[in-house]
Every structure is written in C-alpha cells, then in structure tokens.
Amino acid sequence: MRVIAGEHRGRKLAAVPGSGTRPTTDKVKESIFNMIGPYFDGGWALDLYAGTGSLGIEALSRGADKAVFVERDAKAFAVVKQNVSACRLDEYAELYRMDAERAIRQLAKRAQPFALVFLDPPYAKQRIVEEIEQLQALGLLADGAWIVAEHDSKLSFPDAIQNCVKDREATYGDTAVTLYYYDPQQEA
C-alpha cells in the first residue's frame, strides 16, 4: 500500500496487522481519486473509518488543507498515527480514537465543514445512509462536498439522500464505491 499521487507520491504505508481491517486497495483508491478529481485546491477531508489512514493521507498529498482521521480500533489507530507521521503530515492531521457516531457529534461542535468525506465502515456495521443524513443535519458538509462510500458490492444506495445526489457507482469485485455530491440547493 502506498500514496498514489501528489506531494507524497510513492511513500509506503503500513498495514494494520491481522484481518480485522480491510484496507482500500491501491487500484480502488486510484479509481476513487480519478472520479472525484485528481487534485484539490484546499478544503478539509474527513476519513471517518480511517483504518490505515490511506484515503485521508492521499487527500492531503493531493492538496487538501487538513484531514481528520477517526478510528475506533486501537491497533488501526496506532497505524494511522504511524502513517501520518511517516508522511510528515502531523501538522495537517487530527486523529480521534472513537466511534464514528461520537466523532460526528464532536466535530459538529466545531462547525468546520468538510469538502471530502470518506465512509468505509466495516461491511457488517454499515450505516452509510444514516451517516450521510447526520453529516448534513449537523452542517458538516461544505457546498459541493464529495462523499465517497466504500461498501459491499451487494448493497445499493438511493439516488439522493436529502441534498446529496448520487454521482456514480463503480464495482471492483466484492467492493463497490458510491459517490455522492452535496448540493444544498437540491430539493430534499
């Protein structure tokens, strides 16, 4: 696993030991960034189920201003911390060791909207629709934000979740990626 493009291109990233975490493959990660735009002109990213931190680190490498990494599992959290430090991104990263629901509530208190949100929960514990609704309700999405949901390919999601409109879907074996675009002018 490595950083695909940008300032930290080619940097190797550590994996979480064991089989409890399913990292996003480099192929899927590259496809995600090809779909949402290869580089960013600032904005904050939220990696809500960080795992190794690969997606948030990739966003930082490609021009995001800051990234917030949320990971509940102690081993995975340690790997995120290690990978962020190895890429010398500590000053651009905030790490939270807690579950996604609690993190969303805490982040709402800061009123910092995100331009890019990665939702890659464990397949057995997916609440993607509810989390997208909650992100909107708490004002955590910047106008024009992208939400990248990585999920089991057997699942399908609605064309719109309130003001988030499905932009596209792609399937890679057992993994699927659904992209939503946040348009606050869209009728919910």
Distance between CA 117 and CA 135 in Å, rounded? 9
First-to-last C-alpha distance (Å) of the chain:
39
Single pTM value for the model:
0.92
Per residue of the chain (188 residues), give pLDDT as tens.
Answer: 888 888 888 889 998 887 666 667 778 888 888 888 877 888 999 999 999 999 999 999 999 999 999 999 999 999 999 999 999 999 999 999 999 999 999 999 988 999 999 998 877 678 999 999 999 999 999 999 999 999 888 888 999 999 999 999 999 888 899 999 999 887 65
